[in-house]
Structure 1
Amino acid sequence: MREENVTRKEHLIFALMILLSLTIVIGEPEGPSFINATNTSTRVLMSAASIEAVAGNVTELSITGQTTTQSWQGYFGNITGQLILGDAWNHTLIDWDVTLPEGEVYVSTGTIDFSDGNIGCYDYESGESYFTLSELETSLGMNADDIDGVNETFLVNSSYPNFYAGTNQITGNCPMRQLNNISGTPSPDFYELLLYDAANQNLIYTAVLTKNGAVGFDNRTWNFQMIVGENGHEGDTTTTPYYFYAELNG
């Protein structure tokens, strides 16, 4: 969940650890029965460096620096849950604990309609009128040439595991990103894709779960790592509620 008391959003990539517990009907994504943000942090800023100035001298400098993105929020964590068979009154006939989850975590700014034929890859290359790349980046305070823009961050690629979002098979070329491991390099254990809900015109950030967990960016083991768009440009401290869904396969 989002922190409401963000006071230093100009230094934005928050790493927010999420623990998800889910009771779920087989094959149908739904909201978690429990979600807890156990830790949130941002990178520590570097101290200023100093060089002595001597009257009469001219000095060539080579400077390397880092600046935290103002366009993205990070989430990472683990997920547990159950597969259940039950009725409309939440009476459970039988259930199975899921200790090594496979599936996906779906995150969006609105509700998601997983009905058949409604979910597919977000296509920022075709210029579809429902939600263009320009509209998306403008909503996140990005410029078209930003190096941390949407199409610079998520590249259209077919090199990801095929899966179903509900009854919608996700194949082909979706915008995709691999999140980093402890060495700071993209890891095939942490896939994130951009999907689209046509009925509600919502972008869906989608993390593919790693069944046995994998060592992530902070040298700890996680089922998923992902980022979502968030505008922190020009002192914007407005927070955005994101809604989480998950789909488990036993």
Structure 2
Amino acid sequence: MRTNNSGGSSANFQRFFHPVVPSRAAARKPAACALAATPQTRKRPPRLRRTRSNAEKYRTAKRHIHNRYQSSAFLFRVFYKPDGPGLTEQKLVERNRSLQPVSAVYLHPLLVEKRVSASGTHELKYANAIALDDLPQKKNWQSETTLFINGKKSISGATIIRFDGWEKETIASCSYKVWAINSRLELTGLPPIIFEQYYSPELRVVLRSVRLGPSNRPLSEVRFDRFHIGWGN
């Protein structure tokens, strides 16, 4: 993938900011809980909400997702470091059958500001003040958003983050209360980038992230297999 200084293609932006390849991560754990767990050998599909009216659709989608994830998952390692109200991220991502370093800066664990790789630098600038720690109370946050590619203004749009309730995520023998979040980035001329995220306010990390299509169909998922304390190997 390549990105040029004049703004880059829609496909490049979508792929760079939010990889759609199903994958899993082993991360550094910022709080105490259980011993590290052994990584699983195959991908677990995203959860689907089932109702009486869509029971058959649920079964079909579940089979499809399970089969696709079982054959296409891979493992990578990601490192998070707290940085004030936000955090920094470093990871290796598979591109063209090779591992490439990618770094990112988050203004809040739910809100990326910048990603840097060999392909270039993508930045999102937000017009509104970043106030997400009280999202369970106010339910929604949104802001006008502008994309910069390699320092040059590209396109504008809006970011909308919605709190959908409290849930629980389990990693190895540890369980965490998480916010269920719907995150939506709408930029002029591009399809919306939609994620269903499960954020632990205790750890200040998103523990699971599901990429959704325009019809809210799951496309890919990133989840943790295990945590480690500190920054050692």
When Rg is computed on C-alpha atoms for both structures, the one with the higher figure is 1
Question: Which has the larger share of strand?
Answer: 2
TM-score by length of 2: 0.32
Q: Whose helix fraction is larger, Structure 1's or Structure 2's?
A: 2
| Higher RCO (CA < 8 A, seq sep 6+) | 1
